[in-house]
Amino acid sequence: MIHRRTLIALAASATLLAAAPTHAQSDWKPVRPVKLLVGFAPGGSADTLARLIAEPLSQKLGQPVVVDNVPGAGGNIMAGRLATSAADGYTLGIGAAGSMAITFELNPKATPYKPESFTPVTMLATQPNVVIVNMSVPANNIGELKDYIARTPSASYGIAGIGISNHLIAEAMLARMGVKMAAVPYKGAAPVITDLLGGHIAMTMDNITTAAQLAKEGKVKALGVTTAKRAPQLPDVPTLQEQGLAGFDMPTWQGLFLPAGTPAPVVAAYYAAMQDILKSASTREKMAHLGSQPVVGMKPAQFTAYLEADRKQWAATIKAARIEPQ
């Protein structure tokens, strides 16, 4: 997972840069309300993050930042709208791996936009994912899970859609473990959890917020965290790296994007505003409640490089798992 190590290095070096007052300044200010597109319905984690940053961003810009929900196709409908919006600074969007990296490898013919359709501004946050299993599964760590899968060919795991990041992270993990497990697609995360609790599937890969709550309630067993460091919400659950999968560091991430061709002063204005927001104690506290870790100081060029490496990693995972283009 070379590019995940790159993310750590970029974030570390960028944080040092952000500690000094050297980030780009811009005289650009909007003169009317700004629209912030989010590719999921109100109430979800992406929507919550968008509203979390919209208020302080409004204060920084001196104009309202209005969250506009454009749900559908795992964020791709939102990305398509952003790609065709005017490059004047009045429409921006929150993108994630699904709409800004995976789709180009999994749905190349069905995706109406390209990586070049956007101007990456900065990464906003990352979240760990957690391997959780039904309480009846005789495994309390990744090694025991590997043995269980190897001797139980009927075992399966649930996914909230083919090709979403959690699906591919799970496939990357299974490949590193040297075992195969059937993926059962559902029409959302809720039915996955229902069937996991009911024992119809053995495992899923879920976000830290849901996984931690279920584990603390004793409804599932949390076996491993997908990031390089343990999650504060589950301090006793070791990472996959600690359990023998060296270098495994695959978080979920969100970033801020503008349409391609947006003038440099506009990009600089949003970058500078977001660094102040991401460094604030209030934002960090609110993100912690979402299970998110702010990424401070990732400049547009660094974010662009990360995205290029991210797409290559997903392409390799898709090929190795033999996931057919959708």
192 and 137 both lie in a single domain = yes
Q: Got the DSSP string for 95-118?
A: EEHIIIIIHHHHSTTT----GGGE
Looking at residue 19, its pLDDT comes to: 37
Higher pLDDT, 71 or 161: 71
pLDDT tens-digit readout, 2-27: 445 555 455 444 443 443 333 445 68
How many domains are there within the chain?
2
166 and 312 both lie in a single domain = no
133 and 228 both lie in a single domain = yes
Looking at residue 5, its pLDDT comes to: 52
Residue that the structure tokens 């830290």 belong to: 208
The string over 203-224, giving b where at least 16 C-beta atoms fall within 10 Å of a residue's C-beta and e elsewhere, is bbbbbbbbbbebbeeeebbbbb
Helix (H, G, I), strand (E, B) or coil at 206: strand
135 and 223 both lie in a single domain = yes
116 and 152 both lie in a single domain = no
Looking at residue 109, its pLDDT comes to: 87
The conformational region for residue 186 under phi > 0 = left, psi -120 to 50 = alpha, else beta, is: beta
The pLDDT > 70 percentage for the chain reads 91
Q: Mean pLDDT throughout 203-222? A: 95
Tokens of 189: 């995360």
Looking at residue 161, its pLDDT comes to: 81
Half-sphere exposure of 92 (CA within 13 A, CB side): 27
Looking at residue 22, its pLDDT comes to: 37
Residue 45, in any domain of the structure: yes
Domain boundary among 225, 243, 261: 243
Domain holding 278: CATH number?
Answer: 3.40.190.150
Domain holding 148: CATH number?
Answer: 3.40.190.10
Q: Mean pLDDT throughout 128-136? A: 97
Residue 48, in any domain of the structure: yes
Confidence band, pLDDT 50/70/90 cuts, at residue 326: low
Residue 39, in any domain of the structure: yes
Domain boundary among 243, 264, 282: 243
pLDDT tens-digit readout, 77-131: 999 999 999 999 999 999 999 999 999 998 888 899 999 999 999 999 999 999 9
Q: Got the DSSP string for 10-58?
A: HHHHHHHHHHTT-S-------SS-EEEEESS-TTSHHHHHHHHHHHHHH
Q: Mean pLDDT throughout 151-157? A: 97
Looking at residue 18, its pLDDT comes to: 40
H or E segment to which residue 181 belongs: none
- In which domain, by residue range, is 178 found? 128-243
Looking at residue 31, its pLDDT comes to: 97
Residue 158, in any domain of the structure: yes
pLDDT tens-digit readout, 27-64: 899 999 999 999 988 887 788 899 999 999 999 999 99
Distances from the Cα of 75 to the Cαs of 111, 164, 188, in angstroms?
A: 11, 10, 14
204 and 302 both lie in a single domain = no
170 and 71 both lie in a single domain = no
Higher pLDDT, 324 or 220: 220
Domain boundary among 184, 219, 243: 243
Looking at residue 296, its pLDDT comes to: 96
pLDDT tens-digit readout, 245-272: 999 999 989 999 999 999 999 999 999 9
Residue 69, in any domain of the structure: yes
Residue 297 reports pLDDT greater than 80: yes
147 and 235 both lie in a single domain = yes
237 and 186 both lie in a single domain = yes
Average pLDDT, rounded, for the chain? 90
Residue 19, in any domain of the structure: no
The pLDDT > 90 percentage for the chain reads 74
Residue 72, in any domain of the structure: yes
Looking at residue 25, its pLDDT comes to: 56
pTM of the model: 0.83
237 and 266 both lie in a single domain = no
45 and 66 both lie in a single domain = yes
176 and 275 both lie in a single domain = no
CA–CA gap between residue 169 and residue 251 (Å, rounded): 9
Looking at residue 291, its pLDDT comes to: 86
pLDDT tens-digit readout, 55-88: 999 999 999 999 999 988 888 999 999 999 999 9
Looking at residue 123, its pLDDT comes to: 97
CA–CA gap between residue 1 and residue 180 (Å, rounded): 20
